[in-house]
Amino acid sequence: MRYELYYWPSIQGRGEFVRLALEEAAADYVDVVRENGGMSAMTRLMEDPNVARPPFAPPFLKAGRLLIGQTANILLFLGSGHRLAPKDEAGRLWTNQLQLTLADLVVETHDTHHPIAAGLYYEDQKPAARRRAEDFRRNRIPKFLGYFERVLERNPRGDRWLVGARLTYADLSLFQVVEGLSYAFPRAMQRQAKRYPKVVALHDRVASRPRIKAYLASERRISFNEEGIFRRYRELDG
Amino acid sequence: MRYELYYWPSIQGRGEFVRLALEEAAADYVDVVRENGGMSAMTRLMEDPNVARPPFAPPFLKAGRLLIGQTANILLFLGSGHRLAPKDEAGRLWTNQLQLTLADLVVETHDTHHPIAAGLYYEDQKPAARRRAEDFRRNRIPKFLGYFERVLERNPRGDRWLVGARLTYADLSLFQVVEGLSYAFPRAMQRQAKRYPKVVALHDRVASRPRIKAYLASERRISFNEEGIFRRYRELDG
């Protein structure tokens, strides 16, 4: 079965967490909206009154007859089908829990440049963005990355991966978050990264996985840019 | 087995979504932090270096040897054990997807009064809060409630519940969100509610479930207040 991923075609955004899982799993998938006619296919699906279980927003994944929305939910689904999460209930829940914590961090990252409204331009909310970003750099990045450092320290199976002794989709997502924060806040991350050596080592370990490495070097990997979640605005980096 | 819920004792907050599920399931549970010595028990658990899978933040639920964090994750767990979600994979994923969409709405609601930083007082971010709340009332409430109205319309098993023909934890959560928005934004909700008759009917249907009705009338139900997620600030209600 070929998966169909529906997501905005010019940003990494939330879709990237799904792309990374599909790539690591070597799953057969098409990134629909990057194909000819893909955008209207996505719009059609979102507006089709015959879709009984409509997604609220991209990304969503078509898997046979299933149409699955919400990033963490898509990963929960892919995790069990592609050995990207443990099989036991405790391990599956723990992986999902870590993913949801990363999702919280992603929302907060987005809101550093859009603290007032996603529908307004960044330029229309710059003073608020500057204040929010300062709090984010000082308090939120350390709180979240410190947490994941602790999770790695405490993993009874060692500090290579977040969950047990094998890579899960939560590792892929932590890689992406570190990559994104390093793009958006290079100075803050440069200063802070040394406090989280296990998180940084995990990032590097994911980046050197053969399939991830090939993906990152391919044109399938969209570059970071100032339309996505992780944006580089010098004035937000302190 | 008696569940132990850990959450702040003086607000509904995110813990309330878990409380509602436990109450509807007539589950045996203790709201730990509302008992004597409960706060230090929660702090101890959060700081205990021997906890291999530490939660990032409350709420979390102790279920035998499992310690489960993240609201939607706790509900995913309770849903399968207490018939608060379908058994089939498609139904479980769909219920989780709706819960995650409600969780997004909860974050946005919180940020109407804390658009700059959760660690600052509301009084230190009032102008930004006013702008964010205006966008929230005008654009975000209609987008989310319109979505859930559509989900109810399209449910092939009828518009009584969000998923299939039985109540799920997503219905309990939608009840709580409507209740909370009506507390926080009484004027905006008064104007808008008539556009979402199925959502309002679902809210009323949940409120009249015998166990929920008894819970809401009990002292176990904490009142809404200006420390929680849903806060009534007249200036944010337009």
State whether ipTM is beyond 0.90: yes
Q: Are residues A57 and A102 in the same domain?
A: no
Query: In this predicted structure, what is the pLDDT of residue B210?
Result: 98
Q: Indicate if A123 and A215 belong to the same structural domain.
A: yes
| pLDDT of B160 | 98
Mean pLDDT in residue range A37-65: 97
Nearest to A116 among B49, B73, B128 (CB): B128
Query: Cβ of B154 under 8 Å from any chain A Cβ?
Result: yes
| Mutation target vs B (from A50, A67, A70; most B CBs, 10 A cutoff) | A70
- At B166, the pLDDT band (50, 70, 90 cuts) reads very high
Q: Do A11 and A32 lie in a common domain?
A: yes
A215: number of Cβ within 10 Å: 16
Q: What is the pTM of this model?
A: 0.98
Q: How many domains would you assign to chain A?
A: 2
A117 plus A69 within the same structural domain? no
| % of chain B beyond a pLDDT of 70 | 100
Question: What tens digit of pLDDT does each residue of A159-208 get?
Answer: 999 999 999 999 999 999 999 999 999 999 999 999 999 999 999 999 99
Q: Which contiguous run of DSSP H or E holds residue A231?
A: none
Say yes or no: A74 and A94 in one domain: no
**Residue A217: inside a domain, yes or no?**
yes
Q: Identify the band that residue A154 occupies on the pLDDT scale cut at 50, 70 and 90.
A: very high
Mean pLDDT of B184-198: 97
pLDDT, residue A134, reads 98
Contact: B93, A147; criterion CB under 8 Å? no
What mean pLDDT comes out for the span A21-32?
98
Name the pLDDT band for B128 (thresholds 50, 70, 90). Answer: very high
Residue A1 — pLDDT band, cuts 50, 70, 90?
A: confident
Cβ–Cβ gap A135/B117 under 8 Å: yes
- Domain-embedded: residue B42: no
Q: Please name the member of B54, B72, B115 whose beta carbon is closest to the beta carbon of A100.
A: B72
B63 CB neighbours in chain A (<8 A) are: none
pLDDT value for B136: 98
Mean pLDDT for chain A overall: 98
Report, as an integer, the average pLDDT of A33-58. 97
Identify the domain containing residue B135 by its residue range. Answer: 89-210
Q: What is the pLDDT of residue B1?
A: 86
pLDDT at B46: 95
CATH of the domain at B101: 1.20.1050.10
**Average pLDDT of the segment spanning A111-135:** 97
Distance from CA of B216 to the nearest CA of A (A): 29
